[in-house]
Amino acid sequence: MTAVLFDFSGTLFRVESTETWLRAVLAEARVVLSEQEFTKTAQALEAAGALPGGAAPQHVPAELAAVWEVRDRTPEEHRAAFTGLSRRVPLPDPRLHDALYERHMSPDAWTPYPDAAEVLGALRERGIGVGVVSNIGWDLRPVFRAHGLDRYVDTYVLSYEHRMHKPDPRLFAAACADLGADPREVLMVGDDRRADGGAAALGCAVHFVDHLPADRRPDGLRPVLDLVR
Burial class (CB in 10 A: 0-12, 13-18, 19+), 36: exposed
Beta strands at 3-6 and 129-134: parallel, antiparallel or unpaired: parallel
Interatomic CA distance for residues 178 and 198, integer angstroms: 18
List, for residues 148-164, the tens digit of each pLDDT value: 999 999 999 999 999 99
Cβ–Cβ under 8 Å, residues 161 and 178? no
C-alpha torsion 25→30→35→40, nearest 10: -50
On the question of pLDDT at 114 being above 90, the answer is yes
On the question of pLDDT at 186 being above 90, the answer is yes
Q: Where is 132: in which H helix or E strand?
A: strand 129-134
The mean per-residue pLDDT over the stretch 62-91 comes to: 98
Spacing of C-alpha 75 from chain mean position: 14
Cβ–Cβ under 8 Å, residues 67 and 31? no
List, for residues 14-57, the tens digit of each pLDDT value: 999 999 999 999 999 999 999 999 999 999 999 999 999 999 99
pTM, two decimal places: 0.96
**Domains defined for the chain, CATH in brackets:** 3-14+110-227 (3.40.50.1000), 15-109 (no CATH)
The mean per-residue pLDDT over the stretch 94-107 comes to: 98
On the question of pLDDT at 229 being above 90, the answer is no
In whole numbers, what is the pLDDT of the chain averaged over residues? 97
Classify 39 as helix, strand or coil: helix
Given this model, what pLDDT does residue 161 score?
Answer: 98
Say what percent of the chain tops pLDDT 70: 100
Burial class (CB in 10 A: 0-12, 13-18, 19+), 123: buried
